[in-house]
Structures are given as C-alpha cells and as structure tokens.
Structure 1
Amino acid sequence: MTDFDIEIDKTTIANYTRNIKVFSAYLYQEQVIHTNPLKNVKNVKPEHKMKVMLEDNELLQLFKAFDVTKFDQYRDWK
C-alpha cells in the first residue's frame, strides 16, 4: 500500500487500525454511535524487524562520549 507514492509499512497500518478501532469502541461505549462498525475488523500483524547491532568499537565510542564529571551523564553512563 502506498501514500503519496511512498510505501507504507505494515507497522504503520497496524497502528492506524488499532487507534481507529479504539476510538470507534469509545464512541460506541459513550453511545455516540449505535453500532461499532469496526468490531469485526481484524488487526494487521506487523513484521518484526531485526535491529542493527553496534560493533565493539562503536560501543566504546558511545561510552567515551559521556562526560562522567556531570551527574546526569554519569547516571546515564552507569
């Protein structure tokens, strides 16, 4: 599926569907609508993507970026 010629990820569609279904259920619960039109709509199962792992040298570079003389950075470093 595309939007403005840009491919839409399944995760985005799953989020949109979930949010609209929750809003529709709320409207039904508050008796703003008489039936919940999205009650039987199935959820889209998003694909799980592998996260990119940092190399050892990238981790060391990240840890060296903290200024441990400042409390908040020391706290985050630890």
Structure 2
Amino acid sequence: MLGEDFCDLHGLPGVEREDGEQNFGHEIGVVGESAEALQLAEQELGAHPTRWCNQGVAGGDYLDYVRAGRPNGTPR
C-alpha cells in the first residue's frame, strides 16, 4: 500500500498505457559515459543537474519528499 511510509521504489506501480499494459519507463537514449547520461536526462527530461542520488539512497530521499508534502506540486 502506498502511503507516507512507503519508500520501496521498486514496488511502485508502472504507468498504465492506453492499451492496458504497464509501462515501467522508456529509453531516451544510449550513451557511453555517465556524464553524457546526466546531460541527456537534463536535456530530454528536464532533470535538475544537482538533484541526483544513487539507488542506495533514492528510497530515503523519496520518503523525505513524500513526508514534506511533495513540495514541487506533484500530484498525489
């Protein structure tokens, strides 16, 4: 169940597509270096260049974000 204490990012549901299938993401490109991947994410997805974290802390960061009331105005 999703709620204020949920932080298992692997357990988040995918986005349902129009055909009823689950979409767990899409590839925006293939690059050879991590710096290129970050640059691509910034250009194509509007990712903020200073708001990256590794997979080991992403769940905790997400939990802090949820508990702060999703300050960027994202839907619940």
TM-score (norm 1): 0.23
TM-score by length of 2: 0.23
Structure with the higher fraction of residues in helix conformation = 1
Give the number of the structure whose alpha-carbon radius of gyration is greater. Answer: 1
